[in-house]
């Protein structure tokens, strides 16, 4: 980036603790940084950071509140005011896109569209009752009762206009949620990548773990997939239908009562395509309310929740190493050889942290998914080798592969292989054996080959 004002703004945000060093570097080197040329305002830069998925709204609010610890009171106030303004500007994307589509379809005039956009207040859900967007426009004084009747009469006589209005109202109605102050997701088009990466959503629910088939679960999935099409609404032709997701086949894969984690699966129909979606529902971490809904690999979920023991624990225990130890040792072994296998960068291409905590008041992510190894699941007891001095354990491993991402494919790959572990001394902790790096190399190669062939 050669824009001095942009570098200055990003440097200031870094110094104030509002963005991290990794986010600072991403902003400075982002391929779309040219969009900030001629936009010297701090608010412009904050909006760009949000819409480019470099920062997320919850992080921004929390960092703004902490800025007083690192800034003068005047600077802290300036940053917080700019953050509030940027969040307001990013809030009503769906309604704005819907109004633009109505203007493009001739349902309302361009002037009415501009006045309606100006009437949208921060944190407001514009769709009110059965009357939808047009009734809201009358309530706001954008149009009067006579004009409303004229619009409805013209819509009734024109199937294309009627379809556009119905679809915009339906789209926005999906986005109405329980908390008025919550915002909406802006997920871009990488839905499949995001699902593979694992997407965590905060579900504001009572203490009982929600069932897979409950309405809030279905709604969250719809919101997730709907986000993929929102940014293109205003560029669609007036008679082109807005893709809306339909969730079918919601069912339970299994329930680990000891951990209070439920695994579910569904099929999402969107834009003529069917996408399988598997996920877990679990209590939010300490200090947060409700539950988190996290996207997960289907094969790992099937293995993990298809073998729950009588006490409600995961049955694949990788004896005698144990579930926790085999994962800890595996991750340590991978970390020791990262440079040999095209290690995942500090910020993966799909950047889960910025993809997850979108609006909707959903503010929990899965930190382990930003690492090279997202999940490790043993499939059976480990097999003794070398006279019992070492053990070979078959594992399913979900790995974020930067090489596949660089080639334009899905970055998530699934390793299915046996890996060797041994103890340090007679009773020390477990570690990967000397053969581990070779085993890992073969497993990564096999996973890449399979991914290319699919």
Give Cα separations from 4 to 8, 27, 48, 68, 143 (angstroms). Answer: 6, 13, 16, 25, 45
Flag whether pLDDT at 186 surpasses 90. Answer: no
pTM over 0.75: no
**Average pLDDT, integer, range 198-208:** 45
3-class state of residue 267 by DSSP: strand
- 358 and 186 Cβ atoms separated by less than 8 Å: yes
**Residue corresponding to tokens 């899905």:** 410
Cβ count near 176 (within 10 Å): 12
Which tokens is 221 given? 């999935």
Annotate 301-337 with three-state secondary structure: HHHHHCCECCCCCECCCCCCCCHHHHHHHHHHHHHHC
CB 183, CB 360: distance < 8 Å: yes
Contacts of 358 (CB under 8 A, 6+ apart): 56, 57, 183, 184, 185, 186, 187, 227
Query: What is the tens place of the pLDDT at every residue in 236-275?
Result: 666 666 677 889 999 999 999 988 999 999 998 887 888 8
Residues 54-71: tens digit of each pLDDT: 887 667 777 777 777 888
How would residue 339 be classed by pLDDT, with cut points 50, 70 and 90? very low
* Whole-number Cα distances in Å, 252 to 162, 215, 217, 342, 383: 39, 14, 12, 36, 31
What does the domain layout of the chain look like in residue ranges?
2-175, 215-306, 323-343+350-453
pLDDT at residue number 303: 95
**Residue 38 exposure: Cα atoms within 13 Å on the Cβ side:** 2
Examine the pLDDT at 130 and tell me if it is beyond 70: no
**Which range has the top average pLDDT, 25-39, 80-94, 176-190, 322-336?**
322-336
Q: What is the largest CA-CA distance in the chain?
A: 89
pLDDT on residue 189: 29
**For residues 333 and 300, is the Cβ–Cβ distance under 8 A?**
no
Q: How far apart are CA 247 and CA 12, in angstroms?
A: 44
Mean per-residue pLDDT for 386-408? 84
Predicted confidence (pLDDT) per residue in 162-177, tens digit: 877 877 776 665 443 3
Q: Mean pLDDT over all residues of the chain?
A: 75
**Ordered DSSP codes for 241-258:** PPP--EEEEEEEEEEETT
Q: Is the pLDDT of residue 91 over 60?
A: no
pLDDT of residue 352: 29
């Amino acid at each position: 980036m050669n824009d001095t004002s942009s570098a200055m703004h990003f440097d200031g945000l870094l110094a104030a603790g509002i963005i991290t060093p990794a986010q600072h570097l991403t902003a400075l080197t982002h391929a779309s940084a040219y969009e900030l040329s001629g936009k010297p305002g701090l608010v412009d830069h904050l909006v760009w950071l949000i819409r480019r998925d470099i920062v997320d709204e919850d992080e921004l609010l929390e960092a703004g509140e902490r800025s007083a610890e690192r800034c003068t009171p005047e600077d802290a106030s300036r940053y917080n005011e700019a953050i509030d303004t940027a969040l307001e500007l990013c809030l009503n994307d769906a309604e704005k896109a819907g109004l633009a589509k109505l203007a493009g379809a001739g349902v309302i005039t361009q002037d009415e569209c501009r006045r309606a956009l100006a009437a949208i207040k921060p944190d407001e859900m514009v769709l009110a009752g059965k009357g939808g967007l047009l009734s809201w426009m009358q309530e706001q004084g954008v149009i009067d009762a006579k004009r409303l009747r004229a619009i409805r009469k013209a819509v009734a006589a024109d199937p294309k206009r009627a379809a556009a209005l119905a679809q915009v109202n339906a789209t926005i109605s999906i986005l109405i949620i329980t908390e008025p102050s919550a915002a909406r997701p802006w997920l871009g088009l990488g839905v499949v990548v995001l699902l593979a990466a694992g997407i965590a959503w905060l579900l504001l629910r009572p203490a009982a773990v929600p069932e897979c088939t409950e309405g809030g679960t279905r709604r969250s999935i719809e919101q997730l997939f709907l986000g993929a099409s929102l940014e293109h609404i205003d560029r669609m032709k007036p008679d082109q239908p807005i893709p809306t997701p339909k969730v079918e086949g919601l069912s339970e894969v299994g329930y680990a009562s000891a951990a209070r984690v439920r695994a579910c699966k569904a099929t999402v129909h969107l834009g003529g395509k069917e996408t399988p979606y598997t996920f877990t529902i679990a209590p939010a971490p300490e200090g947060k309310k409700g539950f988190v809904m996290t996207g997960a690999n289907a094969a790992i979920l099937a293995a993990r929740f298809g073998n729950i023991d009588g006490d409600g624990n995961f049955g694949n225990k990788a004896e005698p190493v144990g579930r926790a130890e085999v994962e800890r040792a595996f991750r340590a072994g991978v970390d020791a050889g990262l440079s040999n296998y095209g290690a995942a960068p500090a910020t993966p291409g799909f950047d889960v942290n910025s993809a997850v905590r979108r609006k909707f008041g959903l503010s929990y992510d899965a930190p382990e998914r930003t690492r090279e190894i997202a999940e490790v699941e043993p499939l059976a007891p480990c097999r003794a080798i070398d006279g019992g001095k070492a053990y070979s354990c078959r594992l399913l491993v979900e790995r974020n592969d930067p090489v596949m991402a660089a080639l334009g494919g899905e970055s998530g790959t699934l390793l299915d292989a046996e890996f060797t572990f041994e103890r340090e001394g007679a009773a020390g902790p477990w570690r990967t054996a000397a053969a581990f790096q070779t085993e890992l190399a073969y497993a990564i190669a096999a996973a890449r080959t399979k991914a290319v062939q699919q």
